[in-house]
Amino acid sequence: MCTLKNNIAVLIIAAGYSSRMHDFKPLLTFGQTTALERLIQTYQRHGIEHIYIVTGHRQEDMIETLKSYKVNIVYNEDYAKGMFSSIQKGIQVIDKTVDAFYMQPVDIPLIKVRSLESLYQAYRHTGKGVIYPMFLGRKGHPPLIDMKYKEQILLSNGEGGLKRVLEAFELDALHVSVLDKSVLMDMDTPEDYQKLLVYESINAPTKEECLAMMLENNVSENIIKHCEAVEKMVCIVYAQIASFGLDIDIHTLSAAALLHDIARKEKNHAFVGAIQLRAMGYDAIGDIIATHMDIDVDDTLPLTAHELLFLADKLVHEDEVCGFEKRFEKALKKCEGNLEAQNNIVKRLNATKAIIVKIQNLTCKAFPYG
């Protein structure tokens, strides 16, 4: 859990009819919990104690769901008037010791703690009155709003909603880049809900999130193109062996390929990149990245994701597929006179050949990229 943030609250708006969903959004399930509970748990891990839930439709069901949580339930009798009426109702009862609050719609349920922490740190260090999360240039939820704007929100007639109110304070706003697509992912419709279920089930960043991570780390355009080419190649190779029942998760492998050179500017970049991904909670991806430069191949064991990434990286020069034999020949010539470097190159060449042999033995087909 992050450090307690006694001066910050969250206002979770969960009062509407969910008419477009044809189901009640706050109580839709994600694993063993509801969307509403998932948000409460996320904010608790973020260190938020002041949690306010604005309810309306199906009030009794909400009270039953929330009975084991230490939260403040605020009933909006005018919930039929829309979300802004619930925001106004909620901020009236926020504790006076609170300096700012997250405005959190319940239908954006998969917010990650690290994104909330980015918003909080920006608020702390800049003093800006409205902090918005941005994912690849698109504004998302939740904004973190200073309580100094409480009166302006309460005095609004609601036309244009909260967005219209906050537009007047753009000079006091800050847009903070986050690495999680979830800030944009709502669930207005059953199709949206299904997309969220799929997103949650994959314990790996999406391609867009991988791009956001690379941009955050100032990875150059040519390296991004190389990583994209390696990802394309690793998916081609994976498709050849996917039907053989190997314990390889394509989503994890794909993300590792996209992120394998995230620390390319650093010495021992495979090791540094692995540490970065593990620190973000992606241990499996970090482990695969760690071996993309050097790997020990055991021909008695099944193919691994580590081996597939290592191979794909050796089949791509810059952003083009290449023959690995010629690539290694050039590398050896470049290192003439440096025995240690040449030994490392020969070791990588032998590992590449050994992985190809494993693929050919598995598929009983010639490997088409050589």
CATH number of the domain within which 356 lies: 1.10.3210.10
The answer on pLDDT for 1 being more than 60 is no
Bridge-based pairing state of the strands 50-55 and 72-75: parallel
pTM of the model: 0.92
- 267 vs 118, 258, 259, 288, 316, CA distance in Å? 27, 19, 16, 18, 21
Same domain for 325 and 356?
yes
Same domain for 87 and 225?
no
Q: pLDDT of 209-243, one tens digit each?
A: 999 999 999 999 999 999 999 999 999 999 999 99
Same domain for 39 and 110?
yes
| Confidence band for 325, pLDDT divided at 50, 70 and 90 | confident
Q: Does 56 map to a domain?
A: yes
Mean pLDDT over the full length of the chain = 94
Three-class secondary structure assignment of the chain: CCCCCCCEEEEEEECCCCCCCCCCHHHCEECCEEHHHHHHHHHHHCCCCEEEEEEECEHHHHHHHHCCCCCEEEECCCHHHCHHHHHHHHHHHCCCCCCEEEEEECCCCCCCHHHHHHHHHHHHHHCCCEEEEEECCEECCCCEEEHHHHHHHHHCCCCCHHHHHHHCCHHHEEEEECCCHHHHCCCCCHHHHHHHHHHHHCCCCCHHHHHHHHHHCCCCHHHHHHHHHHHHHHHHHHHHHHHHCCCCCHHHHHHHHHHCCCCCCCCCHHHHHHHHHHHCCCHHHHHHHHCCCCCCCCCCCCCCHHHHHHHHHHCEECCEECCHHHHHHHHHHHCCCCHHHHHHHHHHHHHHHHHHHHHHHHHCCCCCCC
Same domain for 197 and 328?
no
Residues 6+ apart with CB under 8 A from 27: 34, 35, 36, 58, 61, 62, 65
| Confidence band for 327, pLDDT divided at 50, 70 and 90 | confident
For the segment 44-57, the average pLDDT, to the nearest whole number, is 97
Predicted local confidence at residue 370, as pLDDT: 67
Query: What is the distance, to the nearest Å, from the Cα of residue 85 to the centroid of all Cα atoms in its chain?
Result: 31
Residues spanned by the domain of 325: 207-363
Same domain for 217 and 150?
no
Q: pLDDT of 98-133, one tens digit each?
A: 999 999 999 999 999 999 999 999 999 999 999 999
Same domain for 237 and 123?
no
Same domain for 185 and 244?
no
Same domain for 67 and 171?
yes
Q: pLDDT of 272-311, one tens digit each?
A: 999 999 999 999 999 999 999 999 999 999 999 999 999 9
| Confidence band for 20, pLDDT divided at 50, 70 and 90 | confident
For the segment 26-55, the average pLDDT, to the nearest whole number, is 97
CA 234/CA 239 separation, integer angstroms = 9
Domain stop point among 148, 171, 201: 201
Same domain for 222 and 113?
no
Same domain for 95 and 212?
no
Q: Does 168 map to a domain?
A: yes
Q: What is the CATH number of the domain that holds 130?
A: 3.90.550.10
The region of weakest confidence among 27-41, 79-93, 327-341 is 327-341
| Confidence band for 21, pLDDT divided at 50, 70 and 90 | confident
Q: pLDDT of 136-177, one tens digit each?
A: 999 999 999 999 999 999 999 989 999 999 999 999 999 999
| Confidence band for 332, pLDDT divided at 50, 70 and 90 | confident
Same domain for 168 and 223?
no
Same domain for 13 and 106?
yes
